[in-house]
């Protein structure tokens, strides 16, 4: 019964926000019970938000340090632990954006791109807050959702703002997605390179020099051999072709905290959230106890897509243990055909003994880092 309740809660949309009861937006169906168990209160625009320090500390390094400092000083002063009331670092923040941040922290599975697109006007504020709190996983989820908004109908001014925000917050894939769309429009803006640069000059009035430089570089991407750019000869069609090639590449990362809590029986899978890369939704499927036999760590990539496509994939288990001489384990597929729900990967990606070997840093601090790089080589509707 409890599982069914959580499942219904995960399907709630972001339109369920009620300014009179903001806690219901992130505590969902279990609000009353969770409020009673809260050990901290955030004060935002004079509104008190009940929270749980353990949930927030998992998501935010800043809050982890702040809660640690407050509880440590309380213990030193009185020897008892009292409920923490925290106004910083939320001073000056918008109440809805903080509630949205808490929704990400408490129920990340409900924050699909479709849900976040419905509150797109608040996403940049959420991004600023996640950056301020050093909440990297929430930042990546927001960046993915912003990327979902990028299409031919996105206003040009919005693309510029998003591209510059992505640069500020070190989100290269979001920035590239915005710049590719901007450059594609410029490349289609006229029958000659002169017309393209005329449109670029007009755009330059609203963007910074870094964004403009990157746009010019993208427009020149089809110039010819490296070191011999022939900008004067670049046609809009060549630029678009080069940009489309860039759009067929992508990468994503799954960080698994407390890896030891994943099911470890043979044939018992665990799934990552979905990631958007190369125009496709992907997720990892892993078998800590082996897919077919014990003693193996199995890794697969699952695609969610309409139609089918062909792609090559590289999957890496990151060695987090050493600054130099890293021993990442990396395997690449040959070209594989993906349909909706199809998975490709390796039942014998690596030995479980090697994964757990403390000589390496594959599970440093009970934390696993998986990375994937994909290239879509053909698409069929």
What is the CATH number for 263? 2.60.210.10
Claim to verify: residue 133 and residue 162 sit in the same structural domain: no
What pLDDT score was predicted for residue 222? Answer: 43
Among the candidates 247, 278, 298, a domain finishes at: 247
What pLDDT score was predicted for residue 231? Answer: 36
Among the candidates 113, 147, 181, a domain finishes at: 147
Claim to verify: residue 91 and residue 156 sit in the same structural domain: no
Cα 362 from chain centre: 21
Claim to verify: residue 136 and residue 21 sit in the same structural domain: yes
What pLDDT score was predicted for residue 239? Answer: 46
What pLDDT score was predicted for residue 267? Answer: 94
Pick from 255, 349, 334, 236: nearest CA to 298 = 349
What pLDDT score was predicted for residue 11? Answer: 44
Q: Which helix (DSSP H) or strand (DSSP E) does residue 17 occupy?
A: none
What is the domain count for the chain? Answer: 3
Claim to verify: residue 118 and residue 203 sit in the same structural domain: no
Claim to verify: residue 51 and residue 121 sit in the same structural domain: yes
pTM of the model: 0.54
Full domain range(s) for residue 130: 2-147
Claim to verify: residue 328 and residue 364 sit in the same structural domain: yes
Claim to verify: residue 33 and residue 126 sit in the same structural domain: yes
Claim to verify: residue 96 and residue 160 sit in the same structural domain: no
Question: Can you tell me whether residue 20 is helix, strand or coil?
Answer: coil
Q: For the range 195-203, what are the long-range contacts, defined as Cβ-Cβ under 8 Å and sequence gap of 24 or more?
A: 196/236, 196/239, 203/156, 203/160
Q: Which helix (DSSP H) or strand (DSSP E) does residue 337 occupy?
A: strand 336-339
Q: What is the dihedral of CA 260, 342, 280, 111, to 10 degrees?
A: -50
What pLDDT score was predicted for residue 191? Answer: 52
Low-confidence ranges of the chain (pLDDT < 70): 1-15, 71-81, 111, 187-210, 213-214, 216-247, 322-325, 381
What pLDDT score was predicted for residue 229? Answer: 35
Claim to verify: residue 92 and residue 114 sit in the same structural domain: yes
pLDDT digits (tens, 9 = 90+) for 251-306: 888 999 999 999 999 999 999 998 888 888 899 999 999 999 999 999 999 998 77
Claim to verify: residue 72 and residue 173 sit in the same structural domain: no
- The enclosing domain of 11 has a CATH number of 3.30.710.10
Cβ neighbors of 211 (< 8 A, separation 6 or more) are 160, 163, 164, 167, 179
Among the candidates 247, 278, 300, a domain finishes at: 247
Claim to verify: residue 101 and residue 186 sit in the same structural domain: no
CA 38, CA 34: separation in Å to the nearest integer? 6
- Residue recorded with tokens 């017309």: 195
* Per-residue tokens: 296: 């193996």
Question: Can you tell me whether residue 197 is helix, strand or coil?
Answer: helix
Claim to verify: residue 68 and residue 97 sit in the same structural domain: yes
């Amino acid at each position: 019964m409890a599982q069914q309740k959580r499942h219904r809660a995960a399907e709630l949309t972001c339109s369920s926000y009620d300014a009179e009861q903001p806690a219901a937006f992130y505590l969902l169906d279990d609000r009353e019970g969770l409020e009673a168990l809260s050990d901290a209160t955030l004060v935002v625009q004079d509104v008190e938000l009940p929270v749980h320090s353990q949930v927030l500390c998992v998501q935010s390094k800043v809050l982890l340090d702040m809660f640690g400092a407050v509880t440590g000083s309380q213990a030193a002063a009185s020897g008892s632990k009292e409920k923490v009331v925290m106004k910083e670092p939320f001073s000056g923040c918008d109440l809805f954006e903080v509630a949205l941040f808490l929704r990400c922290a408490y129920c990340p599975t409900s924050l699909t791109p479709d849900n976040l697109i419905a509150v797109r006007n608040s996403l940049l504020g959420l991004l600023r807050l996640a950056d301020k709190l050093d909440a990297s996983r929430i930042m990546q989820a927001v960046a993915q959702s912003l990327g979902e908004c990028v299409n031919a109908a996105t206003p040009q001014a919005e693309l510029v703002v998003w591209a510059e925000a992505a640069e500020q917050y070190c989100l290269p894939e979001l920035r590239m997605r915005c710049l590719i769309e901007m450059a594609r429009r410029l490349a289609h803006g006229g029958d000659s390179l002169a017309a393209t640069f005329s449109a670029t000059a007009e755009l330059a009035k609203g963007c910074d020099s870094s964004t403009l430089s990157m746009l010019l570089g993208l427009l020149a991407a089809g110039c010819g051999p490296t070191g011999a750019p022939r900008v004067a000869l670049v046609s809009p069609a060549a630029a678009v072709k080069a940009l489309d090639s860039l759009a067929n590449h992508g990468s994503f990362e799954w960080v698994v905290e407390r890896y030891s809590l994943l099911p470890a029986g043979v044939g018992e899978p665990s799934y990552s959230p979905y990631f958007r890369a190369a125009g496709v939704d992907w997720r990892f499927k892993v078998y800590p106890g082996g897919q077919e036999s014990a003693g193996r760590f199995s890794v697969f990539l699952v695609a969610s897509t309409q139609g089918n496509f062909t792609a090559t994939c590289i999957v890496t288990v990151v060695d987090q243990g050493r600054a130099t001489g890293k021993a990442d384990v990396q395997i690449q597929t040959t070209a594989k055909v993906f349909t909706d729900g199809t998975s490709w990967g390796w039942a014998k990606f690596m030995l479980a003994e090697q994964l757990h070997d403390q000589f390496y840093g594959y599970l440093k601090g009970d934390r696993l880092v998986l990375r994937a790089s994909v290239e879509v080589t053909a698409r069929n509707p």
